[in-house]
Chain A
Amino acid sequence: MTDKFISIEGIARRYPGAGGGETTIFEDLWLSMKRGEFGCVIGHSGCGKTTVLNILAGLDQPSEGAVIVDGQAIEGTSLDRAVIFQSHALLPWRTVLGNVAYAVTSKWRNWDRARVKAHAQKFIDLVGLTGSEHKRPSELSGGMKQRVGIARALSITPKIMLMDEPFSALDALTRGTLQDEVRRICLETGQTAFMITHDVDEAIYLADKIFLMTNGPGAVLAEIVENPLPKDRGRIDLHRHPLYYAVRNHIVDFLVSRSKTFAATVTDHDPRNVPVVRPGKPELVVAAEAEDSIEASWPSVARPSTSA
């Protein structure tokens, strides 16, 4: 059991549907993560990703099943599990420092003012907001607001950091910088993190394990992709790594076609033993396959060398 820091055990979420029936968003979902791992869930809208995260956070309850974190079944929200919200969710009447300090005083209620301030300041510095402590959220850019959200989540030194598409509302440049920050912080502190995203590259850059979910309703966890890229991967040369496209193509293929057809084509899917895929060496084969398929479906786009 020690290797399962987070263990989601057979959870389901159903909503009362029209006409007395029930709509099952997902059911019999099993998923586990080790301490210090970074997990990303990818799937189309409506597959229940956010619900899974909310259940992990304790903001939502599963209709069936349980979630065990660090050997204990979770019950409601906890300061052990910090959430970074998609909409940053800062309290607009508090300053940057006030927002982070609010979290700090929530965790350590008997700390005096100076100690709270010093602790909050440490995390504001960590996300690179030194000098903006006394600004209000309305005076910050989207990226800076999300930095405050990250600082607030980190400041309570949680066991797990839960992120619900934290960067999806940001422009590409800011998103890149913040991904770097999050990766640096998670590596430095050995933080366990669970993140929901739509962005395949983000998942490949950040995650150790990528969980692929099929389309809802009735979504299942189809497979777990283990990221074969080295731990010290950098944003700049990520796409040059020989395995990068193997992983990327695998995930994109899943999202484009297999996420729809999975339920119909795979009949022996065992939700308790989801296949773990590690897209490996044969990236050349994948490339060749891709070329073949391009030529097959697009004869006119044949490469100059073959058409000559």
Chain B
Amino acid sequence: MTSSLRFRAAVVSIVLLAAFLGIWHLATRSTGAVGNMSPEYAKLMGLTATQGKSAMPGPLDVGAKLWEHLRQPFYDNGPNDKGLGIQLGYSIARVGFGYLLAVIVAIPLGFLIGMSPLISRALDPFIQVLKPISPLAWMPLALYTIKDSSISAIFVIFICSVWPMLLNTAFGVAAVRKEWINVARTLEVGTVRRAFTVILPAAAPTILTGMRISIGIAWLVIVAAEMLVGGTGIGYFVWNEWNNLSITNVIIAILMIGIVGMLLDQILARFTRMVTFPE
């Protein structure tokens, strides 16, 4: 029953995709020669003017270009012409560094907040004020203090992914069932061992949920951050191709951002499933 449902869902998905591509193709195709014009003018203007082709690339253009990119993902022809793989690699590396830094800070600090009501209350006003700040608002400050655009981008990733992890860790740790803590207490389990053998496994699903939210936000923010700092990365690529008026490349970049974001989310989802326990 479930497999047939899955099969039917796949069929509907494919039909929807085909319909979307079909409509896209029809809407952007050439409509034939329009009027007479001097060949020189026509050459200057390209297909848009001569064949009535839309300025928006069609699915075939995008497909051809995508194939070109996929065949050579790692070429490097100087600062403004690098392969899609290199650009994505830069973005993923920045997200990875910033995110890792956030994990190192947020999880121990979240533990502390979750375990100590005093620290929880003391830090609460700071967290409440810092949390709603758009990560990009930190960018000028980061550029001024760090004086390195690449590290500034990493800092922005750090600051945006730290909050969901921090709050989820604190919540997960504070919400560990009292009876499990009591089991550890009656067994004279020390604080450190208790943290690792009872609190961490009990809070792990909540912590991982926070980490999953964070990776999503980090991937959203990196594109915007790289548009600002420039140089490398998929965000910079999008902006650069916009400046080149290559809508085809912009569309490809959008698709790639979506796919990488999905993969990152799936990886975290898998980790979450690994630590989730049935009750």
Residues of A within 8 A of B (CB): 57-59, 76-79, 81-83, 85, 87, 89, 91-93, 102-103, 106-107, 136-138, 156
CB of B266 closer than 8 Å to a CB of A: no
Q: Specify which chain A residues have a CB less than 8 angstroms from the CB of B198 in the assembled complex.
A: 91
Interface pair B197/A79, CB less than 8 Å apart: no
Interface pair B278/A136, CB less than 8 Å apart: yes
Interface pair A85/B278, CB less than 8 Å apart: no
Interface pair A59/B197, CB less than 8 Å apart: no
Q: Specify which chain B residues have a CB less than 8 angstroms from the CB of A138 in the assembled complex.
A: 277-279
**Contact partner, B197, options A57, A58, A83, A102, Cβ 8 Å:** A102
Q: Specify which chain A residues have a CB less than 8 angstroms from the CB of B275 in the assembled complex.
A: 93
Interface pair A81/B186, CB less than 8 Å apart: yes
CB of B75 closer than 8 Å to a CB of A: no
Q: Specify which chain B residues have a CB less than 8 angstroms from the CB of A102 in the assembled complex.
A: 187, 197
Q: Specify which chain B residues have a CB less than 8 angstroms from the CB of A79 in the assembled complex.
A: 186-188
Q: Specify which chain A residues have a CB less than 8 angstroms from the CB of B179 in the assembled complex.
A: 85, 87, 89
Given A89-B182, A91-B180, residue A77 in contact with residue B279 (CB < 8 A): no
A158 to chain B: closest residue by CB: B186
Q: How many residues of B contact A (CB 8 A)?
A: 18
Interface pair B277/A57, CB less than 8 Å apart: no
Main DSSP-derived SS at the A contact region: loop
Given A102-B197, A138-B279, residue A59 in contact with residue B185 (CB < 8 A): yes
Residue from A59, A91, A107 having most chain B Cβ neighbours under 10 A? A91
Taking the closest CB of chain A, its distance from the CB of B252, in whole angstroms, is 43
CB of B231 closer than 8 Å to a CB of A: no
Residue from B187, B189, B201, B202 having most chain A Cβ neighbours under 10 A? B187
CB of B183 closer than 8 Å to a CB of A: yes
For the complex, what is the distance from the CA of A93 to the CA of B275, rounded to whole Å? 8
A88 to chain B: closest residue by CB: B179
Interface pair A103/B187, CB less than 8 Å apart: yes
Residues 209-254 (chain B) with a chain A CB within 8 angstroms? none
Taking the closest CB of chain B, its distance from the CB of A84, in whole angstroms, is 10
Top 3 A-B pairs, shortest CB-CB distance:
A106-B187, A89-B179, A93-B277
13 A-B pairs besides A78-B188, A107-B187 with CB distance below 8 A are A57-B186, A77-B187, A79-B186, A79-B187, A83-B182, A83-B183, A85-B182, A85-B183, A89-B180, A92-B278, A93-B275, A106-B187, A106-B188
Interface pair A82/B278, CB less than 8 Å apart: no
Q: Specify which chain B residues have a CB less than 8 angstroms from the CB of A82 in the assembled complex.
A: 186
Interface pair A59/B182, CB less than 8 Å apart: yes
Interface pair A89/B188, CB less than 8 Å apart: no
